[in-house]
Amino acid sequence: MKLWVHVIEAHNLPVVNLSGTCDPYVRLQLGNHRSKTKVVKKNLNPVRDEKFNFMVGELSEELIITVFDEDKYFNNDVLGKLKVSLLKVLDVHILGDEMVSGSFTGEVTLNVSAARLWKGGIEEPHILYPKLMPDYISKAERIGEGVGAINVFYYSPAANLPPGSLIKNKIEVLDEATFTFKNSSVEGGLLGVLVNSFTYESVFIPSGPDSCVAKIKFDYETIADQDLSEEELKAGRDGSIAVLKATEGYLLANPDVYA
């Protein structure tokens, strides 16, 4: 599980130098992992808007937040320190028995054969998707082959997500005979943010020699006892259909690819 920390701003920090200001920065520590913000020079009310992520090893750990004043000549001064218990922060999410299970579906007709769509979008998404969506996916890789393999997609900076953001999807079903595919998210994406589990299933139904109907289904369990909003459901559905349409466009523009 990942913990995202958003350092936004501070107000009325103490004066610690002769200029009547301070040079503050924040250090974050979870277990043996540390990160720190940039130093804001001569500012008692610094605005930061910096984001960090940590892998959570044990829920008994504490996030230690320390505010320092940078001193070039002596030890940095501690302006304040806070310890946050992950159990206290996350108990409403991980300890409660209540959660919401749900699903939503989508369907789109595509002017490419099911076989070509399968080869590009299912067998080689780690190769195709960075070409189709360079502003969203910077690179991708597949770990393993067949059922049990994991597709890893790394988000581009233009996606406006924290640096290093990715999603890992494990292949659960891979049936070329019926063009049926299913995967489950195992890291990144919405996991730990909105949902505890998230699976995607698709089937391509041939409707002609060069056309098919793509049906998609999502199943999820939310973290808390609140369902996903209509906007979130629509974004998931529309995003997946947009990927299918982008794949269609690429295959139509390159008729010899995956032929």
Residue 87's pLDDT is: 67
CA separation, residue 79 to residues 23, 76, 247 (Å): 11, 9, 53
Number of structural domains, the chain? 2
Convert the pLDDT of each residue in 194-249 to its tens digit. Answer: 888 999 999 999 999 999 999 999 998 888 767 778 888 888 899 999 999 999 99
Find, among 93, 32, 38, the residue nearest to 63 by Cα.
Answer: 32
pTM: 0.61
Domain range for 171 is: 101-253
Alpha-carbon gap, residue 55 to 2, rounded angstroms: 5
Q: Do 105 and 230 reside in the same domain of the chain?
A: yes
Q: Do 69 and 130 reside in the same domain of the chain?
A: no
| CATH number assigned to the domain comprising residue 21 | 2.60.40.150
Q: Which two tokens stand for residue 254?
A: 């390159």
Contacts of 237 (CB under 8 A, 6+ apart): 104, 105, 106, 216, 218
